[in-house]
Amino acid sequence: MALTTERYLKVVYPFWSKTNLKIWMIYAAIVFSWIAGILSVAPVGFVTSVVVDGRCLGFELYWTNVEIKVGFGVWSCLSFFLIPLIMFVYCYGSIVMVMRKQGRVMAGHNVEGSAQNASQAQSKRIKWSIIKTMTIVTAFFIICWFPLNVYIVAVDKINTIELAISYTFVLTLPYINFAVNPFIYTAKHDGVRSILARMIPCRRSKDAATVSGNAAEAANNTGRNRRIQTTKHL
C-alpha cells in the first residue's frame, strides 16, 4: 500500500510530490509498515495460542470467544483485503488516466513526424506496462488473500486435522504473495531492473548498461511529457 501510494503521488501529482514528498517520509512509511504489521498480528498470536493435551494450538487456532473471533475476522478482512484492494484499483486507475491524458497531449502537440511517433510509442509502452502491472498485482492479491479472509470469518473452530491442514494452506498464500510481488515489479519496472543489475556482481556490465539506458530513456520521456503538459496548461 505504501509503494502504491508513492507511485500514485509521483505520477498523478508530480510537482507536489517533488516539492513535498521527502526521503524521510519514505523511510517512515517503511518503518510504519513493519511496526503496524507486527502490532496487528503478534497480540492475536499470543492470545489465541494454547497447549491442549500436550498439543500446541498455534496462531488463531484457539479462541475463547466466538464474537471476538468474528470481530477480528471482519476487521482483518477490511484492513488487509477490501481497503487495500480498493486502494490498488483507485491509484492504478488514476495513474492510467493520467498516462492517457499525457498521450493525448503528445498526440496534439506539434512535434515532427519521427519524434512524435517515437514519443507516442514510448508513452503507449509505459501506459500498457502500468496496466499490466496493475492487473497482475491486483489479481495475485485477490487470489492469495481472499481465501484466508473468508476462512477466518467462516470457520468457527479448527478442531479437525482437515481444517488444520486447510488453514495452513490458506495461511501460506499471503506469504506467496509477498514473495511474488518483488518479481512482478522487477519484470515491469525499468528502474528496479537497473538497480538490481548494478547489485549483481556476475552480471555483464554491457547488460547492466543496457538496462540503465532503457530506464534513463523512460525517465527522459516521462519528464518531456510532463513539461509538454505543463506548457499546455500555462
Q: Where are the domains of the chain?
A: 64-188
How far is the first Cα of the chain from the last one, in angstroms, to the nearest whole number? 33
**If you search the block for the grid coordinates 502537440, which residue do you land on?**
109
Q: What percent of the chain has pLDDT over 90?
A: 4
Q: So what's the pLDDT on residue 119?
A: 64
**Residue 180 contacts residue 206 (beta carbons within 8 Å):** no
**Residue 45 contacts residue 63 (beta carbons within 8 Å):** no
Q: Which range, of 1-10, 98-107, 108-117, 136-145, averages the lowest pLDDT?
A: 108-117
Q: How many CA atoms lie within 13 A of 234 on its CB side?
A: 6
What is residue 50's three-state secondary structure? strand
**Residue 98 contacts residue 8 (beta carbons within 8 Å):** no
**Residue 186 contacts residue 196 (beta carbons within 8 Å):** yes
Q: So what's the pLDDT on residue 28?
A: 93
14-67 pLDDT tens trace: 888 888 888 899 899 989 988 988 888 888 878 777 777 777 766 656 677 777
Q: So what's the pLDDT on residue 234?
A: 45
| Rounded-to-integer distance, Cα 135 and Cα 131, Å | 6
CA of 79: how far to CAs of 84, 137, 168, 184, in Å?
Answer: 7, 18, 21, 23
Among 14, 143, 4, 25, CA closest to 86: 4
Q: So what's the pLDDT on residue 110?
A: 52
Q: Is residue 228 pLDDT above 70, yes or no? A: no
Q: What percent of the chain has pLDDT over 70?
A: 69
**Residue 179 contacts residue 144 (beta carbons within 8 Å):** no
Cell digits for 214?
A: 532503457
